[in-house]
């Protein structure tokens, strides 16, 4: 079912591929390796804490992707700052989202994750691999399809996601 391993002494470890996957998702959101490490750690901790919430309605990787994305967006929201210069002084001004904006953002993210979950498996796999910065050649090799088919599936998956988001 999943690659999480709980030993007899209650320590938890994720498969290296899962850690790498979550790191790659986090890295797409932030510019710093150390920030991506922090997000990865937090996302895997959340995945462990909420492991009972995984119902199997979607693939394990999709569930993990959703946790990683949500964690990364929360990280960015907390660190959203704009710098304003006043001569020699630099003042930091925090841009806070209102509770309504945060709720709307969470709702949009959940809607997008549901839209990804509803894609046919071939489209969902291509989108998931694209999200982790895999190239078209690597995706084709991993899925056993042609590069042209990767491009077609990516185009069709994105079109379906646009339609779902527009609704």
**15 part of a folded domain:** yes
Q: What pLDDT was estimated at residue 142? A: 84
**125 part of a folded domain:** no
CA–CA separation, 104 and 85 (whole Å): 31
CA–CA separation, 2 and 24 (whole Å): 18
Domain count across the chain: 1
Q: What pLDDT was estimated at residue 152? A: 94
**128 part of a folded domain:** no
- pTM exceeding the 0.85 threshold for the entire prediction: no
Looking up residue 42, the CATH number of its domain turns out to be: 1.10.1740.10
**53 part of a folded domain:** yes
Determine the 3-state secondary structure of 134 from DSSP: coil
H runs (alpha helix) in 30-120: 33-49, 60-79, 99-118
Q: Could you report the average pLDDT of every consecutive run of 10 residues in the chain (167 residues)?
A: 46 76 87 89 88 79 86 79 41 60 75 82 84 80 90 92 81
**151 part of a folded domain:** no
CA–CA separation, 138 and 84 (whole Å): 43
**144 part of a folded domain:** no
Domain range holding 38?
A: 1-96
Residues whose CB falls within 8 Å of the CB of residue 119, separated by 6 or more in sequence, listed in order:
127, 157, 160, 161
Nearest to 69 by CA among 48, 52, 46: 46
Q: What pLDDT was estimated at residue 9? A: 43
**157 part of a folded domain:** no
**2 part of a folded domain:** yes
Q: What pLDDT was estimated at residue 30? A: 82
Q: What pLDDT was estimated at residue 39? A: 92
């Amino acid at each position: 079912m999943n690659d999480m391993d709980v030993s007899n002494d209650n320590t938890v470890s994720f498969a290296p591929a899962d850690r790498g996957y979550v790191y790659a998702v986090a890295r797409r959101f932030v510019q710093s390796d150390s920030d991506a490490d922090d997000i990865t750690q937090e996302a895997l901790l959340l995945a462990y804490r909420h492991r009972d919430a995984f119902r199997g309605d979607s693939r394990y990787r999709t569930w993990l992707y959703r946790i990683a994305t949500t964690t990364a967006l929360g990280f960015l929201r907390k660190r959203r700052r704009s710098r304003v210069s006043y001569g020699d002084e630099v003042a930091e001004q925090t841009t806070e989202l209102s509770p309504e904006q945060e709720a709307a953002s969470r709702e949009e993210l959940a809607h997008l994750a549901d839209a990804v979950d509803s894609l046919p498996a071939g489209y969902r796999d291509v989108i998931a691999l694209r999200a982790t910065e895999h190239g078209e050649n690597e995706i084709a090799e991993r899925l056993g399809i042609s590069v042209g088919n990767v491009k077609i599936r990516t185009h069709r998956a994105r079109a379906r996601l646009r339609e779902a988001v527009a609704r």
